[in-house]
Structures are given as C-alpha cells and as structure tokens.
Amino acid sequence: MRRLARLWFIVFTVLRFGLDEVALRGLRQPWVRALVRVVTVGRRFDEPRGVRLRQALERLGPLFVKFGQVLSTRRDLVPPDLADELAKLQDRVPPFPAVQARGLVEHALGRSVDEIFEHFEAEPVASASIAQVHFARLREGVTRGATAGREVAVKVLRPGMLSAIESDLELLHTLARWVERLSADGRRLRPREVVAEFDMHLHDELDLVREAANATQLRRNMQDLDLVLVPEMIWDLCTPTVIVMERMHGVPIGQVQRLHEAGVDFKKLARDGVTIFFTQVFRDGFFHADMHPGNIQVSLAPQTFGRYIALDFGIIGTLTERDKDYLAQNFIAFFRRDYKRVAELHVESGWVPASTRVDALESAIRAVCEPQFERPLKDISLGQVLLRLFQTSRRFNVEIQPQLVLLQKTLLNIEGLGRELDPDLDLWTTAKPFLERWMSQQVGWRAWLERLKAEAPRYAQLLPELPRLAHQALQRAPERDSPVLLALLAEQRRTNRLLTGLAWAALGFLLGMALTRAWLGG
C-alpha cells in the first residue's frame, strides 16, 4: 500500500506540473500532438517547462532532486533549456530536529552526547538531502589522542533514508527500461546503466563509513600536493550513520568579496584548482566528484593561506588505467588539435562502430572544437562544447560511457569555479603541460621500470611453474587454437621479452663496468 500511495503521489505531481505534456510534446507524431491537446484540457501552465520540471523534482523529494542534478550534466539526454534549469537544483532541505539528531548520535556511538562532547551545537551548520552537520568539541580522552576542546564536525544521516529511497529507485529502474525500449536512442544512451551508476553512488552516500574512507584516501593522495586540505576522520567515532571529523576553518569559495579583502590570489587559486582536478583524475584515478561551491572553502590561516578545503566526500569518481590512458590521449590530441587522432581513439576504444569513416568523424569534431581554442575561459563554455559533441556523437552512434558521467559533471563544476575565480584563465594552456608530463611518465622509461617493479613478484612466482603449466595445457588441449594454449603462449612470449630485456640490461651494465675499469686503469 505504501508503494501504491507513493506511485499515486508521483503521478499526481507529474499531472500537476504538466510533465506529461512536456514528455508528449517532444514527440512529433500527429496522433501524439492530438493527445497533447486532450491531456491539457482544463490545465494551464504559465511557467516554462524547465521551471515546472525543477519544481516537480523538488516536490518529489531528495532522490528526484539528486537525479535531476545528474540529468543536468547529461546534455545528451535533455535539451539545453531543461539542463540549464535542472542545474539550479539546490541540495538544501529543512533540518530535522536537534533532539532527534542527538538521539541518532547516541544510538550510533553507544554513549550519551554529553559523555563524548564538551559542547554539541543544536543548530546544524549544513542540512542536505542525505545528512546534516553539527559542530562540536570533544572531551579529553574520549578517543585515542583526543585533546580537550578539539573542534570537530559531526555528520548525521537523515533517519529512514534507505527505506525511503528504495521504492523510488525501483521506479527509476523501470523507467530506464521503458526509455531503452521505446526511445530510438535508448540503446546508445544506455539509460539502465546510467540509473545503475546513480543507484550505486546514492547507496555509497548512505554509508557514512564509506564517505569517511573516501576522505581518508583523498587526504593521503593529496598530502604531498600542498594545494588542498582534507579533514581528518576520527575513526573511533565513525559509524555507517554518524561520522566525526576534524573541523575545518575556511571561507566558502562563493564569498568572493571576503576572499578579495583577505588578499587571496584568485589567478593562483584558479590554476591550483585545475592542477588539483587533473592530478586526481590522471595521476590517482580517484577524484572528488561533487565540487560545487558549497563543498569548497579557502583557508585564511597563516600556515595554509590560500589553499583549498574540500568537504563532503559522499560522491567520489574512479577511473581504471584504461579510462585514464584513453582520456589523457584524447585531451592531448585536443590540445594539439589532432582531430584525426581523436576520431581514431573513438574507433579503437569501440565507442563508435568499426565501420565509421574516420575522416567524417574527424571533420565533425574539428567543427566543434576548433572555434574554442586560444580564447579566455570567460568566452568558452565547456557545457556548450560538450553539448555539441553529444549532438555530434548521436550522428555517429557513439555509446555513452556511464563511468564517465561523474567526470563530465566535475569538469562542468571546474568550469564554473574557474570562471568565477579568474575569467581570463586559459584552461587548455594550463592543463596541456600537466597532461603531457603525465603521458611521458606513462610511456617513458620510468613507467617501464615502475611496471617491471610491480610485475616482478608475479613473474618470480610464475617462472618456475611454466614448464608444468605448459605440459598440462598440452595434455588437456592439444589443438593449436586452444584458448588455454594460446593464452599460455602469449604469457610465455611476454615473459621471454622481459627476460631478454633484463639480459640486455645486465649485459650493458657489465660492459659499462668493464669499460669504466679499463679507463680508470689506463
């Protein structure tokens, strides 16, 4: 009955805000247009369709708000006017009562609030759809190394969140299946995988221990960069529903006037933001994927003046080595205006059919990207570039990669942040040296040594077993085209190449030593 009531509420909201009219008007068949006239009888909609969609999502609750935020980054799925309006969705909701927050903290940590904290602020400093945050001060000795009065932030998960979203997620999965079956672009846009990606990240946000682990990993990755601060987690006080972390003191990056008055160098701040983003993406493959202004502050403390402060680690993006290599090569090809290489990469990766004409795809990409170069950031909209690329991709049946949705969203956030900090920042020129340096590390001799070092234990274990494995494979599958035999032969060839390389390296080293001794002796 609860699910039925929820479904009725959703249908009522759709009809109230005229979303049925929005969906049907996008179809061009004559009978559909006639149906639109029928379903809109007695209803008048004065607001634009984007405003109505945004208001409906806000009315339907946190899950739909978050899905609207994701859709705002998928300009291949929604028209520009809808995407622009969805981007205005604010992840701010009224806080739940302080008494309830204290009860949740005590239930999660197994002790009263007064035993753990010297002071616990009843008024939350932030209230979002998933959780809210209270400032507090720890009591001495409550955790290992805790000092009296240490300032912390306590993040409390909203009660009943998991059960509240499960039924809505089922509806989203059903809707995605319908879109894939009924839409001409359904298979290419892969809506079921997009919703599955959203489902996964939403469940990750509901586990605050995972968020604490994300923060710890990001803090470890960024500690040698000296450009961004990440709060330390108090692990003795972290549970799936409540986490306690170091309180960070900074100015929200949206308070531009205050930062100006403090003497912050905005041009450096913009460059540092680009460096942080590309370091997280291409060096670590682990990046903060929710970098809107509400989650970013700037430190004004003398020791860390001008550094970024990152907050809220519920949404983290990850990339495989293959993803990183593909993206880096694409970026470098873009920076060099090598559009043929960009087209070839799309074919090699399997993102477009193998029968695609490379020259036609190259020409289409050139028409999108060439006008954007050598212009300051204030004159470049990455959103518009992505939009035109998505429109181009539709012509060539490019498959949208769900694992890159968060990267696209983060890149758009970086664009907005950079435009606010330094309108004259040239994103392309700033990023190109970083990517070229990264690529040289991936394909140069240093990269070869690192891979050799990483593979050495595996080869040390495999080499003594090769004769036995070869004998067993030959007995089980004598045919030359046996997959097992072919895989074994490929591994053996790879091992032989490695051993040959090592032998030549050793020979070169010994020869060098001999020549050195002869020269010294002479």
- The partner residues of 287 in beta bridges, in order of sequence, read 317
Residue 461: how many other CB atoms lie within 10 Å: 9
Q: Which residues, 6+ apart, have CB-to-CB distance to 96 below 8 Å?
A: 132, 158, 159
List Cβ<8 Å contacts ≥24 apart for 384-390: 386/75, 386/411, 386/412, 387/75, 387/76, 387/80, 389/365, 390/75, 390/76
Reading the block at residue 277, the tokens are 């983003």
Task: Report which residue type is found at 92.
Answer: R
**φ, ψ at 491 (rounded to 5°):** -65, -35
Convert 334-348 to b/e letters by CB count within 10 Å (16 or more is b). Answer: bbeeebbbbbbbbbe
Q: Of 199, 192, 186, whose CA–CA distance to 174 is shortest?
A: 192
d(CA 316, CA 218): 9
The catalytic residue among 91, 168, 290, 323 is 290
Nearest to 337 by CA among 371, 360, 378: 371
DSSP per-residue letters across 406-448: HHHHHHHHHHHHHHHH-TT--HHHHHHHHHHHHHHHHHSHHHH
Which residue in this structure is represented by tokens 């041009």?
A: 267
Q: Please tell me the distance from the alpha carbon of residue 252 to that of residue 276, in angstroms, as a whole number.
A: 18
The per-residue DSSP string of 109-129 comes to HSS-HHHHEEEE-SS-SEE-S
Task: Starting at the earlier edge strand, list the strands of the sheet with 296-298.
Answer: 228-229, 308-310, 296-298, 251-252
CA distance 154 to 344: 50
Q: What is the Cα–Cα distance from 96 to 89, expressed in whole angstroms?
A: 20
Closest of 225, 209, 320 to residue 271, by C-alpha: 225
Nearest to 190 by CA among 405, 10, 476, 41: 405
359 in active site: no
Q: What's at 84, amino acid-wise?
A: D
List residues with catalytic annotation.
290
